[in-house]
Structure 1
Amino acid sequence: MAQTKGEKKTRPERSGNPAKRAAAERARMEESRAAANRVSRVPRKVKEKGSPRWYAPVMVTLLVVGLLWVVVTYLFKGTYPLPYFVENHASDWLVNGNLYVGFAIMLVGFLGLLRWK
Structure 2
Amino acid sequence: MMKRLGISYAKYYNWKYRTTGHLFQDRFKSETINNYLLTATRYIHQNSVKARIVPLPAEWKWSSCLGYYGQFVYPPDLLDPHFLLNMFSPDLLIARIRFKEFNDRKNNDQCLEDSDDSQNKVIR
Do the two structures share a fold, i.e. TM-score over 0.5?
no
TM-score range, shorter chain: under 0.3
User: Structure with the greater relative contact order (CA < 8 A, sep ≥ 6): 1 or 2?
Assistant: 1
Larger proportion of helix: 1
- Structure whose CA Rg is larger: 1
